[in-house]
Amino acid sequence: MNITFPDGSVRQYDDGVNALAIAESISPRLRKATLAAELDGQLVDARTPICGDHSLRLLTFADDGGRFAYRHTASHILAQAVKRLFPDAKLAIGPAIENGFYYDFDTDAGFTPEDLVKIEGEMLKLTQENLPLERFELPRHEAIEFMRSLGEPYKVELIEDLPVDSVIRFYRQGDFVDLCAGPHLESTGKVKNFKLMSVAGAYWRGSEKNKMLKRIYGTAFEKRADLDAYITQLEEAKKRDHNKLGRELELFTTVDIIGQGLPILLPKGARVIQLLQRFVEDEEQRRGYMLTKTPFMAKRDLYKISGHWDHYREGMFIMGDAEDEDAEVFALRPMTCPFQFMAYLNRARSYRDLPMRFNETSSLFRNESSGEMHGLIRLRQFTISEGHLACRPDQVEEEFRGCLDLAKFFLTAIGLENDVTYRFSKWDENDTDKYIGGKESWEATQSMMRDILHDLDVPFTEADGEAAFYGPKLDIQSKNVHGKEDTLITIQIDFQLAERFGMTYVDTDGEKKYPYVIHRTSMGCYERTLALLIEKYAGALPTWIAPVQVKVLAMTDRTHAAAEEVRARLEALGLRVECDLRNEKIGFKIREAQMQKIPYMLVIGDKEVENSVVAVRSRKGGDLGTMALEEFQAKLLAEVSTRAHD
């Protein structure tokens, strides 16, 4: 048989050879490094017999597939260790994930930190036993009975959901058997470096209606040095976690009796959000946007026209009996687009009116599940820089370019331009019930959007099933310190809702036509942006958006008046200043200001008053010496005006 390799070379092998033997024929070092294989694009065990002509890629830990097999094997070792120590634990699922693996268990009691130490020790024993992982298959009915005999109800449920003619795959390692599609390594001894990281709760199949299981997270690396580096990185991430820093710096808080996903922005956090909102609204006005203020709620009739009632109702907060068609039912808005469409419909429009750009600082409400809540990243009430542009077909690309340029402008201003990726989110043609409109229209719009992205030289990946229900979109993605990816900014091309709302314009030929609508955010969700900024700058926000820019520290009672005068002069310039007049040692005051991440501290003592200067300290550069207040003012104003990043 002939095997074609990624470099285009072809080699002949006997039928039945596997990837490990092929790797050995090339290099003993490659044989040792090979963890899995990609056979005709499909991920398989490196031991899978190969017959006939195929393309083959040998996968090491440097490849996604190789890491997957390595960590997936580690998850099975975890499950076997738990079953040895806690025989009554029921197995749920245990996949490899981006930075490691996890396994969900149903147990009467939770896992303690001491339990994790014991489990990790048992995992080490299993790797030393070097148990081979052996694959076998059973018909569906036999597989169900087999899992029932092992007392694994969650596995039975998974198998019962599969078609009746399915052949079910299992892996055995010693006395442990798990339902699994694979791939896996040859033996438990191949997994060398691992660590259990944490325990969390997880609903079975992600539904709040199901039982809460105990999830153990872990990670595994081929090299010990990489594992150690990853753990160090996680420790740094914990220090930067906005949930921790945001509370310590008194930017926001959450209260149980208010509810999950409903944070309180404290004065400092509210000030940062206010600064960002003013910055965005002013820049959007300069770029031809028209500001609207629309209601927080509307009757369901509006959402029926837009399609939200049919396609997004589960994500909405509804007031009234949704099943009573005669009742007046309201819902809090999950998006602002239907409201701004009504602004467009305020009067007749001509081709001369287009493009028409509406913007709004919008408070939105989405009924996220409790398991999705995370600090300021994912909320049930949040504020976004929303906008909708109505344009003629010949204006779509230029307006899309303007939306992307605006987004990049703001990302650069806040220092996140190099921390984002671009995702072209398309519909799922195999699940068309999620969307409105037909295949031909979707394909045409997606083709147009792809061409625009290529014309704008945007480096993007494509993702099926991530489009809005009314059109494809460009999602600008960002990761938090823990590696979780979320959408920060989005730009969508909508080819359908204008017609549903009867939005028309009179074209040059006198005919009424429907405009394209571009839905976009320019800085996205302000709360999420604040979270990312806290994490990027470890709480030390750039001076131009720092809630307090200067702290004036009086050394003695004698310098109180001078300190207050300095504050007044700086505040008159629009700077944000606080005075510390407490009867404390100056060293204590400086350390406290540094802990609060304040960009500049001005120390006012008798000498400074006598010489009409201020002693300047910065959180980054330490002691900058003394200078005239006018000199410091000029320095600070220049830093603010250029939006410099510390």
CB atoms within 10 A of CB 506: 15
Helix, strand or coil, per DSSP, at residue 479? strand
- What is the C-alpha to C-alpha distance for residues 630 and 5, in angstroms, rounded to an integer? 69
- This prediction has a pTM of 0.81
With cut-offs at 50, 70 and 90, classify the pLDDT of residue 438: confident
pLDDT tops 90 at residue 531: yes
Q: Which of 79-93, 189-203, 292-306, 430-444 has the lowest mean pLDDT?
A: 430-444
The Cα angle at residue 405 between residues 346 and 398, in degrees rounded to 5: 60
SS3 of 298-361: the string is EEHHHHHHHCHHHHCHHHCCEECCCCCCCCCCEEECCCCHHHHHHHHCCCCCEHHHCCEEEEEE
pLDDT tops 80 at residue 503: yes
SS3 of 371-412: the string is HHCECCCECCEEEEEEEEEEECHHHHHHHHHHHHHHHHHHHH
Burial of 507 (0-12, 13-18, 19+ CB in 10 A): middle
Helix, strand or coil, per DSSP, at residue 574? coil
* 374 vs 171 pLDDT, higher one: 171
Mean pLDDT of 623-633: 95
Exposure string of 589-604, with b = 16+ CB inside 10 Å and e = fewer, is bbebbbebbbbbbbbb
Mean pLDDT of 287-293: 97
DSSP 8-class letter at 514: P
User: Mean pLDDT in the chain?
Assistant: 94
With cut-offs at 50, 70 and 90, classify the pLDDT of residue 419: very high
Percentage of the chain lying above the pLDDT 90 cut: 86
Q: What is the pLDDT of residue 484?
A: 85
- What is the C-alpha to C-alpha distance for residues 451 and 431, in angstroms, rounded to an integer? 24
Helices (H), 7-150: 19-26, 28-33, 64-85, 113-129, 140-149
Best mean pLDDT range from 236-245, 405-414, 423-432: 405-414
Mean pLDDT of 43-60: 93
In one-letter notation, the amino acid at residue 617 is R
pLDDT tops 80 at residue 600: yes
The Cα angle at residue 428 between residues 422 and 434, in degrees rounded to 5: 110
Count CA within 13 A, CB hemisphere, residue 572: 8
Mean pLDDT of 135-152: 95
pLDDT tops 80 at residue 263: yes
Distance (Å) of CA 83 to CA 95, 105, 115: 17, 10, 13
Smallest CA-to-CA distance from 386 within 284, 465, 487, 470 is with: 284
Strand pairing class (577-580; 550-554): parallel
The Cα angle at residue 527 between residues 524 and 532, in degrees rounded to 5: 85
DSSP 8-class letter at 17: B
Q: Which of 63-72, 78-87, 310-319 has the lowest mean pLDDT?
A: 310-319
Cα dihedral 9→13→16→21 (10° resolution)? -80
SS3 of 578-593: the string is EEECCCCCHHHHHHHH
Measured N-to-C along each axis, helices 526-536 and 224-240 cross at an angle, to the nearest 10 degrees, of 120
pLDDT tops 90 at residue 209: no
pLDDT tops 70 at residue 621: yes
Mean pLDDT of 196-213: 90
CB atoms within 10 A of CB 257: 4
Smallest CA-to-CA distance from 169 within 156, 158, 182, 186 is with: 182
The tokens for 461 are 């990946």
Q: Which of 166-180, 423-437, 517-531, 606-620 has the lowest mean pLDDT?
A: 423-437
pLDDT tops 70 at residue 646: no
- What is the C-alpha to C-alpha distance for residues 427 and 413, in angstroms, rounded to an integer? 32
Smallest CA-to-CA distance from 399 within 358, 349, 371, 444 is with: 358
Percentage of the chain lying above the pLDDT 70 cut: 100
Cα dihedral 270→273→274→280 (10° resolution)? -170
Q: What is the pLDDT of residue 62?
A: 95
CB atoms within 10 A of CB 464: 12
Q: What is the pLDDT of residue 610?
A: 93
- What is the C-alpha to C-alpha distance for residues 452 and 424, in angstroms, rounded to an integer? 11
In degrees and rounded to multiples of 5, residue 163 shows phi and psi of -55, 150
Distance (Å) of CA 122 to CA 117, 119, 231: 9, 5, 21
The tokens for 451 are 């061409």
Exposure string of 126-136, with b = 16+ CB inside 10 Å and e = fewer, is bbeeebebebe
610 contact partners, CB below 8 Å, separation of at least 6? none
Q: Which helix (H) or strand (E) holds 268?
A: helix 267-286
Q: What is the pLDDT of residue 545?
A: 97
Distance (Å) of CA 257 to CA 260, 261, 319: 9, 12, 20
For residue range 154-203, list pLDDT tens digits in order. Answer: 999 999 999 999 999 999 999 999 999 889 999 999 999 999 999 999 89
- What is the C-alpha to C-alpha distance for residues 214 and 203, in angstroms, rounded to an integer? 9
For residue range 629-640, list pLDDT tens digits in order. Answer: 999 999 999 999
Sign of CA dihedral 432, 434, 439, 443: negative
Q: Tell me if 583 sits within 8 A of 593, measured CB to CB.
A: no
76 contact partners, CB below 8 Å, separation of at least 6? 94, 133, 171, 173, 176, 178, 180, 184
pLDDT tops 80 at residue 372: no
User: What pairs with residue 425 in β-bridges?
Assistant: 463, 473
- What is the C-alpha to C-alpha distance for residues 42 and 54, in angstroms, rounded to an integer? 11
